[in-house]
């Protein structure tokens, strides 16, 4: 009878359906509008965070220090110099025909950085002649040398010391923080630039900086001591603010007056990583151990900063409370266990805060995108019965997890670097079919192949 | 009427017109479910819209090889349970190990009552009884599943079902014997 009663009731309750209510849809639209507003918010937030992090990192390594500032400014100045290129053709031709070095005196005016910005006048012609001498196009290459001298003279006039060197223009363009090695004058190679030229910008400087038809640059042939350096024609310029006013080997001064700069690390390296991966949700329903591993690619911006990305596979196992699942299937289980195969694509920034001879420590921060390959969920009822369901390739979560970690690296004698990286992954949004917030932690062993450490 | 697969494809792209089309097409079916769990129409609409929001958010997880109504009914039932839980309306009765016979019910007594009247009787059941009754009689879940979903024992599920049916039987007989034409409307318009 009981069954019959149920059937009749069921039949009665199924025989009618409410008609569409426009007011209900209006309420629904309001809910959807709210949802629309929330969806892009995360992307703006995440995008903004990454942008700020990227700019902060860029600012840090690109901030003004010696050569880097000079390089930036000379690059900008190069354009102006190129504009004057067309006015100097006559001088170039003359020098080319003679195939002889341009008179040093002719190069002096060009060394004055003011000339770079001066679109007219013969100073510019001298500069171009010098370019041709070095077989370089007039403009960018030469102007970079000129303006770098100008900057060095203004910012570090007291340290400006002429230095003998190979004396070719290519070497002059090699950045060297805090040094003025660009002021190179070598016998046989005409000086391309001189600090003397820079002094023209300083009030009260000596007339020695004025261009003169002397075969020797006036600004470099004015040693206070009057003693020429062995093998090096130009002593320090007279007008340089050098209290000692003593001639000294430029090569020595370059080594002693400036801080010893380490070779900057720049470029790519890469390798493999592998380690255990622990995952937990706020409900803390167990702590099964998964595994993660994959490829890692790093780009070293300088000795301190590097970016790393790669592709990692992670076996993520975690238990969760049904209330943590926002999925629409029946979620009134006692607990739900997840076994997910995930591709993890990180984008991290590392900062090396301590570096020894063979080892280094760095901190890492960034975000990961999860691509869920296979999600297997097992719901457990109170009476211990279980129900499984599987979802494949349906969920992708872009930059939905914040990565934080510390990396210790040990350089071997070969190109191999070993590393250990404890990490945590903090969810910004939900992960997987149920949009569950899954926290991860673990430690990976890294094997990186790169350049051999100097 | 627009094809359901096209509508679902549009919903997956978060297309508003497709969402409205889906809502319109399944409003009656879903609202009928929500009304059985709710106490009134406004509460039912609240559950309905929460349920549809879940539908739109998780439309990618819908397996198109299965009937959409089946998926929708599960979502609505679960949303209703969540709703009742959030308002702490569910207080389950004591455990029983077996169901007792309710005795003979006059079929004609049921026939005398309209959909609205029976619906109102169901709505007036205590929330725990109503939930188990709906899950078992209307949604077709077994006691084992209901127990898992609600976090109760199977015996409690059986007990609540028994009591729900007992109350309904008494009310139906009372109404039909008194020949009360109706117990009022629930605020929604119904089509038959």
Whether A394 and B61 lie within 8 Å, measured CB to CB: yes
Alpha helices per DSSP H over A201-343? 250-256
Intervals of chain B under pLDDT 70: 1-2, 87-108, 178-192
Three-class secondary structure of residue A299 per DSSP? strand
Rounded distance, CA B159 to CA B151, Å?
Answer: 14
Entry pTM: 0.41
B142's tokens: 């077994």
Query: With an 8 Å Cβ cutoff, is A311 touching chain B?
Result: no
Q: In Å, what is the CA distance from B48 to each residue of B37, B39, B64? A: 11, 13, 22
Rounded distance, CA B135 to CA B143, Å?
Answer: 9
* Inter-residue contact A111 to A196 (CB < 8 Å): yes
Whether B99 and A391 lie within 8 Å, measured CB to CB: no
List pLDDT tens digits, range A322-375: 777 875 555 557 778 899 999 999 999 999 988 888 889 999 999 999 999 999
Helix (H), strand (E), coil (C) string for B139-158? CCCCHHHHHHHHCCCHHHHH
Rounded distance, CA A91 to CA A97, Å?
Answer: 10
The confidence score (pLDDT) of residue B170 equals 87
pLDDT at A41 over 60: no
> What sign results for the dihedral spanned by CA atoms A86, A91, A93, A99?
negative
Three-class secondary structure of residue A409 per DSSP? strand
Nearest by CB to B48, which of A24, A385, A391? A24
Rounded distance, CA B1 to CA A157, Å?
Answer: 83
Closest CA to B59 of B35, B75, B46: B75
Angle between helices B16-37 and A22-62 (to 10 degrees): 120
pLDDT at A31 over 60: yes
| Residue A98 CA from chain centroid, whole number | 47
List pLDDT tens digits, range A389-446: 788 888 889 999 999 999 999 988 888 899 999 999 999 888 887 888 899 999 999 9
Whether B28 and A333 lie within 8 Å, measured CB to CB: no
**Alpha-carbon distance A320 to nearest alpha carbon in chain B (angstroms):** 15
Dihedral in degrees, nearest 10, Cα atoms B144, B147, B152, B157: -80
Whether A25 and B23 lie within 8 Å, measured CB to CB: yes
Rounded distance, CA A373 to CA A416, Å?
Answer: 32
Asked casually if ipTM beats, i.e. exceeds, 0.90, the reply is no
Chain B residues in contact with A385 (beta carbon < 8 A) = 144, 148
Counting one residue from chain A and one from chain B, the pairs whose CB atoms sit within 8 A come to: 160
Whether B137 and A10 lie within 8 Å, measured CB to CB: yes
List pLDDT tens digits, range B86-116: 765 555 656 555 555 555 556 667 777 788 8
Three-class secondary structure of residue A229 per DSSP? strand
Nearest by CB to A28, which of B49, B60, B103? B49
| Averaged pLDDT for residues A147-169 | 41
Query: With an 8 Å Cβ cutoff, is A28 touching chain B?
Result: yes
């Amino acid at each position: 009878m009981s069954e019959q009663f149920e059937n009749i009731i069921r039949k009665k309750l199924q025989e009618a359906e409410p008609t569409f209510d426009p007011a209900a849809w209006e309420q629904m639209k309001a809910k959807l509008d709210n949802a629309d507003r929330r969806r892009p918010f995360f992307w703006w937030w995440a995008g903004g965070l990454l942008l700020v992090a990227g700019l902060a990192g860029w600012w840090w390594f690109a901030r003004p220090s010696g050569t880097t500032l000079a390089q930036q400014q000379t690059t900008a100045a190069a354009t102006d110099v190129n504009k004057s290129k067309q006015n100097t053709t006559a001088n170039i031709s003359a020098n080319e025909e003679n195939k002889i070095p341009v008179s040093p005196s002719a190069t002096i005016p060009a060394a004055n950085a003011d000339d770079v910005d001066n679109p007219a006048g013969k100073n510019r012609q001298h500069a171009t002649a010098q370019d041709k001498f070095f077989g370089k196009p007039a403009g960018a290459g030469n102007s970079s040398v000129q303006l770098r001298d100008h900057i060095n003279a203004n910012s570090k006039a007291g340290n400006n010391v002429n230095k003998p060197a190979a004396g070719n223009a290519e070497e002059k363009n090699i950045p060297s923080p805090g040094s003025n090695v660009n002021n190179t004058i070598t016998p046989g190679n005409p000086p391309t630039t001189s600090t003397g030229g820079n002094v023209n910008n300083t009030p009260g400087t000596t007339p020695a900086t004025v261009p003169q038809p002397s075969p020797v640059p006036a600004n470099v042939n004015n040693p206070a001591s009057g003693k020429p350096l062995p093998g090096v024609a130009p002593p320090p310029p007279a007008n340089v603010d050098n209290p000692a006013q003593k001639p000294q080997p430029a090569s020595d001064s370059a080594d002693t007056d400036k801080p010893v700069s380490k070779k900057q690390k720049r470029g790519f390296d890469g390798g493999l990583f592998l380690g255990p991966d622990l995952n937990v949700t706020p409900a803390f329903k167990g702590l099964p151990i998964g595994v993660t591993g994959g490829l890692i690619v790093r780009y070293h911006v300088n000795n301190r900063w590097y970016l790393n990305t790669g592709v990692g596979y992670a076996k993520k196992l975690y238990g969760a409370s049904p209330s943590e699942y926002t999925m629409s299937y029946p979620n009134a289980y006692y607990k739900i266990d997840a076994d997910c195969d995930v591709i993890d694509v990180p984008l991290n920034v590392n900062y090396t805060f301590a570096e020894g001879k063979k080892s280094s420590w760095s901190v890492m921060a960034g975000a990961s995108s999860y691509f869920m390959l296979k999600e297997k969920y097992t719901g457990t009822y109170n009476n211990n019965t279980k129900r499984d369901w599987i979802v494949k390739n349906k969920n992708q979560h872009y930059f939905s997890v914040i990565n934080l970690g510390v990396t210790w690296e040990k350089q071997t004698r070969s190109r191999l670097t070993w590393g250990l990286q404890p990490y945590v992954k903090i969810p910004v949004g939900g992960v997987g079919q149920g949009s569950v917030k899954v926290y991860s932690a673990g430690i990976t062993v890294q094997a990186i192949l790169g350049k051999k450490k100097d | 009427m627009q094809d359901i697969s096209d509508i679902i494809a549009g919903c997956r792209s978060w297309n508003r017109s497709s969402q409205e089309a889906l809502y319109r097409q399944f409003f009656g079916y879903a609202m009928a479910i929500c009304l059985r769990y709710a106490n009134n129409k406004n509460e039912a609409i609240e559950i309905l819209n929460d349920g549809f929001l879940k539908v739109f958010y998780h439309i990618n997880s819908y397996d198109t090889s299965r009937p959409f109504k089946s998926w929708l009914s599960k979502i609505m039932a679960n949303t209703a349970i969540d709703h009742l839980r959030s308002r702490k309306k569910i207080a389950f009765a004591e455990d029983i190990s077996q169901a007792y016979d309710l005795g003979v019910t006059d079929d004609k007594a049921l026939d005398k009552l309209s959909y609205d009247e029976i619906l109102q009787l169901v709505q007036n059941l205590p929330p725990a009884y109503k939930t188990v009754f709906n899950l078992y009689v209307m949604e077709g879940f077994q006691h084992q599943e209901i127990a898992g979903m609600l976090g109760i024992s199977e015996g409690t599920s059986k007990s609540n079902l028994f009591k729900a049916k007992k109350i309904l039987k008494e009310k139906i007989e009372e109404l039909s014997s008194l020949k009360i034409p109706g117990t009022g409307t629930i605020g929604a318009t119904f089509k038959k």
